[in-house]
Homo-oligomer: A and B are copies of this chain.
């Protein structure tokens, strides 16, 4: 699951570095622009998930950047957090009025910044909900699996087993490991039981034709793997 892309627009190198550094440490992808021109140009090319915008900028002001972003359909809904040195209320109001989603007064703590960023991003969380392997697609949210567009129907255990394998493609796991990771029940289960489930998984996976996606590694275990025919 990868975190959001942020764009920091700030002309003061020290502050820019401080903010960028800390946000990166939180796991965000952070880009930096030193002025409004650069920022707008960057956004035109690759729209970030959130913009942190300083009010005072050389050239185009932050307020103006904000306004222009709001004009474009592509960026009209792009979340913006503005910050400035002025604590005057009138500015805050103007900022929000122009379309900023939030407002921070310098100096602000990193915790305050994180809280705002988190709050804003919560509205549109991207998720690593789809696993893929070859033409196999598993949607973990809707709990559906398909191969070549054909929908497959898997029992709970086969589903978990496949999920685990898809999370670690091409890797060989012993029966013990598979039991440990893909089984919920703690009671002792025969190692050979894994064989049976692998068989059922294979059956379902291959019912529409196509190569066997599960490789048996003698004396070791199984792996989700494509390369099969070493003719």
Other A-B contacts than A100-B119, A142-B223, 19 sampled, CB-CB below 8 A, are: A89-B109, A89-B111, A92-B112, A92-B115, A93-B111, A93-B112, A96-B118, A99-B119, A99-B122, A101-B123, A102-B102, A141-B170, A141-B171, A142-B172, A144-B170, A151-B228, A151-B230, A153-B230, A155-B218
Q: Which residues of B contact A118 (CB under 8 A)?
A: 96-97
Q: Which residues of B contact A156 (CB under 8 A)?
A: 218-220
Interface flag for A86 (CB, 8 Å):
no
| Residue tally, chain A, CB below 8 Å to B | 38
CA distance A218 to B143 in the complex (A): 11
What is A's interface to B at a CB cutoff of 8 Å?
Answer: 77, 89, 92-93, 96-97, 99-102, 109, 111-112, 115-116, 118-119, 122-123, 141-144, 151, 153, 155-156, 170-172, 217-220, 223, 225, 228, 230
The main secondary structure of chain A at its interface with chain B is loop
Q: Which residues of B contact A144 (CB under 8 A)?
A: 170
Chain multiplicity (copies): 2
Q: Which residues of B contact A153 (CB under 8 A)?
A: 230
Closest approach, in angstroms, between the C-beta of A52 and any C-beta of chain B?
A: 15
CA distance A217 to B225 in the complex (A): 27
B143 close to A116 (CB less than 8 A): no
| A152: nearest chain-B partner, CB-CB | B230
CA distance A99 to B112 in the complex (A): 14
| A90: nearest chain-B partner, CB-CB | B111
| A160: nearest chain-B partner, CB-CB | B219
Closest approach, in angstroms, between the C-beta of A186 and any C-beta of chain B?
A: 16
| A100: nearest chain-B partner, CB-CB | B119
